[in-house]
Amino acid sequence: MSELIVKTVNSKTGSETERPMNEAELLALEQNKINAEALEQAKTEKEEARSVAEAKLLALGLTTDDLKALLG
């Protein structure tokens, strides 16, 4: 993996500095990636559960309008 760089820009002077990420920043970045993946997985599971529930309700003879009223 290539070295990740942090770029800092001073908004008053416009000067820019670059430096490699330190260990704490790398750990935070990795944790953020893990959290994002977990959120995406939870979203996918919720959508799948909703689809299953809608299919079951349709099998009971409810209309699309009934489903919208029930599920919002």
pLDDT tens digit string along 33-64? 999 999 999 999 999 998 998 888 889 888 77
pLDDT of 1 above 70: no
- Helix/strand/coil for 11: coil
Give the mean pLDDT of 8-13. Answer: 97
Rounded to two decimals, the pTM is 0.63
Q: What string of DSSP letters covers the chain?
A: -PPPEEEEE-TTT--EEEEE--HHHHHHHHHHHHHHHHHHHHHHHHHHHHHHHHHHHHHTT--HHHHHHHH-
Domain ranges for the chain, please list them: 22-71
